Amino acid sequence: MVRALLVIDVQNDFTEGGALGVAGGTRVAEGVAEHLALAAGDYALVLASRDWHEAESDNGGHFSEQPDYVDSWPVHCVRGTTGADYHPALDASSIDVHLTKGTGSPSYSAFEGVTADGESAAEVLRARGVDSLDVVGLATDHCVRASVLDAVAAGLAVRVVTDLVAGVAPVSSEAALAEMSEAGATLVTRSDLGVES
């Protein structure tokens, strides 16, 4: 198998202190960085996605002054701002492919993202012969869920590293993990992968 690692939205606005900070977000950022340091050789490719929203737009109704936290949200991850940057614990030099998503429209899945050259995640993975994907990042019950379901639908063998994800809420995160598992993803921990600090 040719395996890649997909790091989803480990951005300042999704970690503690950010516009949509997730409890445990910083822990995930630090854990992903450590995982990359210890296990980079296990991956043919490392991809990372980022929300990359427009400042002068509601991004297709994604931003709202009265968000419902289901389909609309406060302003976050505006491209070119500190909030949209990767968390400082995550060394961007360890990432081979950068994907941006949500520019002008709602977007949750990393598979809706594109590279600077306009390639989709699926195109990048196909070109490298990747057939297996480990997924980490934020948030379990939103962008991780959407990305994993799309990856499984694309025919990839997907493992979700459960100690390297964090969600908005416990109940919805557990439901998302169950849904991903039922769709065909395998739920693993770093110790299951033989990678521990």
By annotation, the residues acting in catalysis are 9, 101, 143
CB 11 within 8 A of CB 98: no
**Contact (CB, 8 A) for 28 and 10:** yes
Question: What contacts 70, CB < 8 A, 6 or more positions away?
Answer: none
What residues does 63 pair with on adjacent strands? 73
Selection from 168, 10, 23 nearest residue 88 by Cα: 10
Distant-in-sequence, close-in-space partners of 17: CB < 8 Å, separation ≥ 6: none
Q: What are phi and psi of 142, to 5 degrees?
A: -130, -90
Q: Give the number of other CB atoms < 10 A from CB of residue 56.
A: 6
